[in-house]
């Protein structure tokens, strides 16, 4: 059975360096498969190595099954780790490499043979057991390495980008094998990657990190539909979310709308609770996030009660086989993810509590009232769409459809699917208590 891994305000600063991890708190349940996801240098490997006992913890506490483990020797942690380039003993056969951790502990040779065979069968390498590493392909060597890590049946399985040196097809196959082997063994697994597709495919939950700060921990579905901030929104999902600079207009006696530059989206009346809350950020610079599935190509006469029309000019056509991606100009300005990493989540479930968000929004209210006095009315839709800042909106088209550069396309946007972030990149809509129906 796997161990519960608890990190409490864990921090790491390498000698003479910047903090690599800042006060990170996280609990991984026994038997859970957690993926650590983030760009290069965000501290993923550091965290994994601290759990394995290969790196000291500067501050905070690590508990394995509620036992304080900060100073436990790696051999006392019942954890196995696999690295990107796992070294096998070149003069030992695959069978001897896999059985090595058991032989070291002087296990009965018959038991060693049995365990090696069952590990090799699970990984589909029984026929390779008598070969030396030099006689194996990269993928086969990696499976032997996995066999060596799993043969001891550790409580904790730590994988640091184990598939990144393999080709895409093999990677897809091996990641399923890793998943099924982790499920069978019941070990608690932490898997490091910077590949969001791999993270989405594997994780029970995904912990997204940036600059040594935990940004969000959630299921793949939760991360996609309700990203805590613009960084998470843009890191998760293919194709990437379109982030466009926008503003909320909330006239006392008119329809509330979101301006995306040259075009506007009137919000559906009566306003949803999420959209009522947007009143307090009116006039502020915002980032509006549109996932491709929030937009469809259709004439305005086909609009449902929640869809609003936009016009897009095709800037680039990306044929993907099963679908075509269209990069469109809508007269808006593409927004970048704010450069500063947002501070760690508060401990516990407060983040998913609507009251927390409401409090935060209300704290904007005074400033909003001041801005409202100065706010200019909703600008009239402009007659032409500037394409200088081109291709800010990405939408899906069927692979059979033929589109060409410069074509004007009628679009419908489902305003219930808008993700709205403040200037710092923190999500202000929708409300964290429910998931938009993407
Ligand atoms: N031994 C070390 N001494 C000093 N600084 C280090 C050391 N190891 C890592 N760092 C720094 O700590 C930060 C986090 O590194 P880490 O390897 O944990 O990131 P990562 O997210 O795993 O990156 P990658 O995906 O590229 O492997 C980086 O800024 C890195 O330069």
Of 275, 255, 274, 253, nearest in space to 266 by CA: 255
User: Cα–Cα distance between 102 and 412 in angstroms, integer?
Assistant: 62
In tens, the pLDDT along 281-331 reads: 889 999 999 999 999 999 999 999 999 999 999 999 998 888 899 999 999
State if residue 194 touches ligand 1 by the CB under 6 angstroms criterion: yes
DSSP for residue 334? B
Residue predicted with more confidence, 332 or 431: 332
In tens, the pLDDT along 234-287 reads: 999 999 999 999 999 988 878 899 999 999 999 999 999 889 888 888 899 999
Task: Judge contact between 189 and 130, C-beta under 8 A.
Answer: no
Query: pLDDT class for 425, splitting at 50, 70, 90?
Result: very high
How much is the pLDDT for 254? 83
For residue 247, give Cα distances in angstroms to 250, 258, 312, 420: 10, 6, 19, 10
For a ligand 1 pocket test, name from 20, 39, 165, 212 the mutation site with the most ligand atoms within 8 angstroms of its C-beta: 20
Of 160, 124, 156, nearest in space to 143 by CA: 124
Counting Cβ atoms within 10 Å, is residue 370 exposed (0-12), middle (13-18) or buried (19+)?
A: exposed
Query: pLDDT class for 395, splitting at 50, 70, 90?
Result: very high
How much is the pLDDT for 348? 39
pLDDT of 367 above 60: no
Q: Which atom of ligand 1 is nearest to the CA of 48?
A: 18
Query: pLDDT class for 366, splitting at 50, 70, 90?
Result: very low
Q: How far is the CA of 43 from the centre of ligand 1 (A)?
A: 6
pLDDT of 17 above 80: yes
The ipTM assigned to this model is 0.98
How much is the pLDDT for 369? 46
pLDDT of 158 above 50: yes
| Mean pLDDT to the nearest integer, 57-73 | 95
So what's the architecture of 5-222 in CATH? 3-Layer(aba) Sandwich (3.40)
Q: Which atom of ligand 1 is nearest to the CA of 194?
A: 25
For residue 164, give Cα distances in angstroms to 86, 152, 347, 364: 12, 24, 32, 44
State if residue 313 touches ligand 1 by the CB under 6 angstroms criterion: no
State if residue 20 touches ligand 1 by the CB under 6 angstroms criterion: yes
Q: How far is the CA of 380 from the centre of ligand 1 (A)?
A: 50
User: Cα–Cα distance between 139 and 120 in angstroms, integer?
Assistant: 14
In tens, the pLDDT along 25-62 reads: 999 999 999 999 999 999 999 999 999 999 999 999 99
If you average pLDDT over every residue of the chain, what do you get?
86
How far does Cα 107 stand from its chain's mean position? 42
Residue extents of the structural domains in the chain:
5-222, 241-429
Residue predicted with more confidence, 162 or 343: 162
């Amino acid at each position: 059975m796997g161990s519960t891994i608890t990190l409490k305000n864990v921090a790491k600063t390498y000698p003479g360096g910047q903090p690599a991890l800042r006060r990170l708190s996280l609990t991984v349940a026994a038997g859970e498969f957690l993926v650590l996801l983030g760009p290069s240098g965000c501290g993923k490997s550091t965290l994994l190595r601290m759990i394995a006992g290969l790196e000291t913890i500067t501050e905070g506490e690590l508990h394995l099954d509620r036992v304080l483990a900060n100073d436990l020797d790696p051999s006392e942690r019942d954890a196995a780790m696999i690295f990107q380039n796992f070294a096998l003993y070149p003069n030992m056969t695959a069978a001897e490499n896999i059985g090595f951790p058991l032989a070291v502990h002087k296990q009965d040779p018959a038991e060693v043979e049995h365990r090696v065979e069952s590990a090799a069968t699970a990984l589909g390498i029984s026929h390779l057991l008598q070969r030396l590493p030099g006689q194996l392909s990269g993928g086969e060597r990696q499976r032997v390495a996995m066999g060596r890590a799993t043969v001891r049946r550790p409580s904790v399985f730590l994988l640091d980008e184990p598939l990144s040196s393999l080709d895409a097809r093999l990677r897809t196959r091996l990641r399923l094998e890793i998943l099924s082997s982790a499920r069978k063994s019941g070990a608690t697994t932490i898997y490091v990657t910077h590949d969001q597709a791999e993270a989405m495919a594997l994780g029970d939950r995904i912990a997204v990190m940036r600059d040594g700060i935990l940004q969000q921990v959630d299921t793949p579905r939760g991360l996609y539909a309700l990203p805590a901030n613009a960084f998470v929104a843009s890191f998760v999902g293919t194709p990437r979310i379109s982030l466009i600079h926008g503003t909320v207009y909330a006239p006392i006696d008119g329809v509330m709308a979101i301006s995306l530059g040259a075009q506007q989206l009137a919000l559906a009346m009566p306003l949803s609770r999420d959209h009522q809350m947007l009143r307090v950020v009116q006039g502020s610079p915002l980032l509006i996030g549109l996932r491709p599935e929030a937009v469809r190509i259709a004439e305005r006469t086909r609009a449902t009660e929640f869809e609003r029309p936009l016009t897009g000019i095709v800037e680039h056509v990306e044929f993907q086989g099963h679908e075509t991606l269209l990069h469109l100009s809508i007269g808006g300005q593409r927004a970048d993810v704010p450069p500063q990493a947002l501070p760690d989540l508060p401990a516990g479930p407060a983040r998913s509590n609507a009251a927390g968000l409401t409090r935060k929004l209300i704290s904007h209210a005074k400033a909003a009232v001041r801005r409202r006095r100065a706010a200019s009315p909703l600008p009239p839709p402009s007659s032409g769409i500037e394409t200088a800042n081109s291709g800010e909106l990405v939408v899906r088209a069927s692979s059979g459809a033929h589109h060409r550069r410069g074509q004007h396309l009628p679009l419908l946007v489902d305003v219930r699917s808008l993700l709205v972030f403040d200037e710092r990149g923190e999500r202000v809509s929708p409300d964290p208590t429910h998931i938009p129906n993407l």
